[in-house]
Amino acid sequence: MFSLKQNSWFIRKVVIWRAVASIAWSVLLLPVTTAVFVLLSRFSLFHPIQWISDCTSLLTASSTIFSLVVLCGVVLITGFFNLEFYTLVPSIPCSRMALLGTVLHPRQCVHSLVYCTMGMLVMWCASVTIGGRYSTLGTPCRQSESGEVVTCLNEYHLFLLLAGAFMGYSHSFLGVVQNMYYVSFQPIQQYKYPRFKGCLPMVVKCSVIQALYSARNFAALYFFFGYVPKTWISSTLNLQIDSSLQPLDSLTGLLDFSLLYHLSISGAFLYLTWYLTVLLFRIYVTEAYSFPVQSTFTEDAEQCLPKVLAEKNTLVMKFLALQDLALLSQHSLSRRLEVFNLSQPGGHPHNWNAISGECLCLLSELTQRLVAHQDAVASNGRVKSQSASSDTRSASSSSSVVSGTEDIAETPRLSVPLRTPGSVFKSSVGGANRVLTAPFTPDVDSPFSSPAIRRLVGQQDPHSPWSGTVQSPHIMRRGPKLWSASTESQSNGSPPGSPATVPSPPAASQKPSFLAQWLQNRREQVKSFLAKRVLIMYLFNKLPEASSQALFADSQAHIWALQGLSHLVAASFSEDQFGVVQTTLPNILSCLVVLLEAVDRHFKLPHASSKPVRTLCSMGDSTYKTLRFALRAALKTAIYKITTTFGEHLNAVNISTEHRKRLQQFLEFKE
């Protein structure tokens, strides 16, 4: 999420100006969309000449110009919300309770209120443009008893205003459910105009379909509850209700073709105005940006690619830097040579060490995340077997070994480069730098969460053996049974290892007080009582594929890291004059193989390999649902790129026997 408090040169010089350009183009498109709306609202099949003349005079009227000014204000507010709430890592709630908590978040409530207001403003402009019986809220009418002319409530105008508020809330709600503020990068680069031209039919189609759905839902809602706002507004504004007209909260009043037609085209105009603003913002923000590999002047060093890749706070700059790395590794010979160059004076490959070290750090972090998730799924709150723990420890050690050489170790490591495992297991909705729909899982705090999940997010039971200074489940485990440990060690041919020594806590902490024990018993009783309730389990049960999607929510960065690293390694076979890549080639190959093993194990989990259901038409970007498949394909492509380039020369690389066997499968094209 973008924050106005961020003090980054990239935000000031690039992101804000791109957002301003997208808003400017949205404003320039307003007269075109307004003219189309006027033509459709005054459409007359049998009087075409009068239709054209009426539309021409209406477009130059003062009311239309004032409506355009109001619509410009709506577009400015929409553009500000796009800039404030956009995210490069989608929000994936892992349970229905998490989704409900996001929708009811105070900030989201303010967002919905603002969009309801903007929807009413757009519908007011539409009703003024249509004219006739929709023009004003109050209309003169004659009472049947006394014959006196009074001001009555125009229910048609009120109907459109309430429909605008309903559509505004629907847009805000779907923005959370469908991740409408998620900005994804296109796999194939296009210029802005061809991309806008290609996406325009889809935007128009989505606007019309969403308008029809909203019109249907609002008509049904007004049929049951329409008398409530109608009575309240008439009594508040002291407006009479014309009894001679058919009320709209009845079946006969709603079966009005002209009313439903104007409601549908007004809703389509409303959604089209918002969707065009969202589309233009996505196109401008994801436009490729070229970072210099090295700089002559020291004051521009922070804008160079090796420094930008290590950025932790500005996520959009990091993503664009990784995209630039993937592009230069494939299409720019001169910039690749700058990566392989040595520093002067000194003759050190600082550029290569920084770039490769950051890519290896990203891939190793993903490996550790997958191993931790598999550990949590396998244990499920129970003590795992000794063999499973040894496998996990070996995978962790293998992923930690591939962090790089001594030169790469000097590269600053990312503690939290992207929203990674926390987006699966952890909730944080109060930070200023987090997106409104930040991924969180209230199952961690729920009575149904397992100790393994709490162990991963750092929420530990103070009476559990995991609390204390040791934080990793791979470092300290409950003492295994003596006969199982001795049997396993004898079968492996190794001497029996001593059981893990756990520092004994003080006597006061070993025996909890009576009150604490009573509270613990009551908590367990409440948990068992709630676990039998169908509604509670429905809200707190995990959604299928949600955990897997959340694990790979930021995998676009890892895909670019794989592409950039593999193409640079392949290009070094003929372009690396100083042999700087050879020093890190064993670490790169080991990192890729360990990550491939972790990904293969993850796809054996339930719901990990199932394909998501495609939506009919939605402005929400759902490409994050298939990122895990794209990552697996990119990982295998990266390994094939290196093995096909080096061939049998890889036999001379110093890697472990297991990794060499796995690479041999790629050399023989058996993967």
Question: pLDDT tens for residues 639-667?
Answer: 999 999 999 998 889 999 999 999 999 99
**pLDDT of 82 over the 70 cut:** yes
**1 pLDDT tier (thresholds 50, 70, 90):** low
Residues 218-236, buried b or exposed e (16+ Cβ, 10 A)?
A: bbeebeeebeebbeebbee
Give the integer Cα–Cα distance in Å for 470 and 472.
Answer: 6
User: Looking at residues 536-551, what average pLDDT do you find?
Assistant: 84
**Where does residue 461 fall: left (phi above 0), alpha (psi -120 to 50 degrees), or beta otherwise?**
beta
Handedness of CA 95, 96, 99, 101 (dihedral sign): negative
Would you say how long the chain is, in residues?
A: 671
**160 pLDDT tier (thresholds 50, 70, 90):** very high
Return the CA Rg of the chain. Answer: 31
**367 pLDDT tier (thresholds 50, 70, 90):** very high
For 165-204, how does the pLDDT look when each residue is reduced to its tens digit (9 = 90+)?
999 999 999 999 988 999 999 888 889 999 999 999 999 9
**631 pLDDT tier (thresholds 50, 70, 90):** very high
For 574-594, how does the pLDDT look when each residue is reduced to its tens digit (9 = 90+)?
998 888 998 899 999 999 999
113 near 157, Cβ under 8 Å?
no
Listed residue (450, 446, 451, 448) closest to 427, CA to CA: 446
**pLDDT of 67 over the 70 cut:** yes
User: Looking at residues 552-556, what average pLDDT do you find?
Assistant: 93
Per-residue model confidence (pLDDT) at position 510: 62
Q: What percent of the chain has pLDDT over 90?
A: 49
For 592-622, how does the pLDDT look when each residue is reduced to its tens digit (9 = 90+)?
999 999 999 999 888 777 777 776 678 888 8
Give the integer Cα–Cα distance in Å for 115 and 190.
Answer: 32
Residues 279-314, buried b or exposed e (16+ Cβ, 10 A)?
A: bbbbbbbbbebebebbeeeeeeeeebbbbbbbbeeb
For 466-523, how does the pLDDT look when each residue is reduced to its tens digit (9 = 90+)?
344 344 334 344 444 333 333 333 444 444 444 444 444 444 446 778 888 888 888 8
**539 pLDDT tier (thresholds 50, 70, 90):** confident
Lowest mean pLDDT among 320-324, 327-331, 538-542, 602-606: 538-542
Q: Give the SS3 label for residue 141.
A: strand
For 415-467, how does the pLDDT look when each residue is reduced to its tens digit (9 = 90+)?
334 443 333 333 333 333 333 333 333 344 444 344 444 444 444 444 443 34
Residues contacting residue 570 through CB under 8 Å, at least 6 positions apart: 641, 642, 645
Q: Which of 44-58, 342-356, 626-640 has the highest mean pLDDT?
A: 626-640
**147 pLDDT tier (thresholds 50, 70, 90):** low
Average pLDDT along the chain = 80
Lowest mean pLDDT among 106-110, 223-227, 292-296: 292-296
Per-residue model confidence (pLDDT) at position 145: 64
pTM (predicted TM-score): 0.78
Per-residue model confidence (pLDDT) at position 450: 42
Per-residue model confidence (pLDDT) at position 423: 38
Burial class, 363, CB count within 10 angstroms (exposed 0-12 / middle 13-18 / buried 19+)? buried
3-state secondary structure 432-468: CCCCCCCCCCHHHCCCCCCHHHHHHHCCCCCCCCCCC
For residue 164, the Cα-to-chain-centroid distance in whole angstroms is 27
- Phi, then psi, of 315 in degrees rounded to 5: -70, -35
User: Looking at residues 157-165, what average pLDDT do you find?
Assistant: 95
**403 pLDDT tier (thresholds 50, 70, 90):** very low
97 near 446, Cβ under 8 Å?
yes
**pLDDT of 572 over the 90 cut:** yes
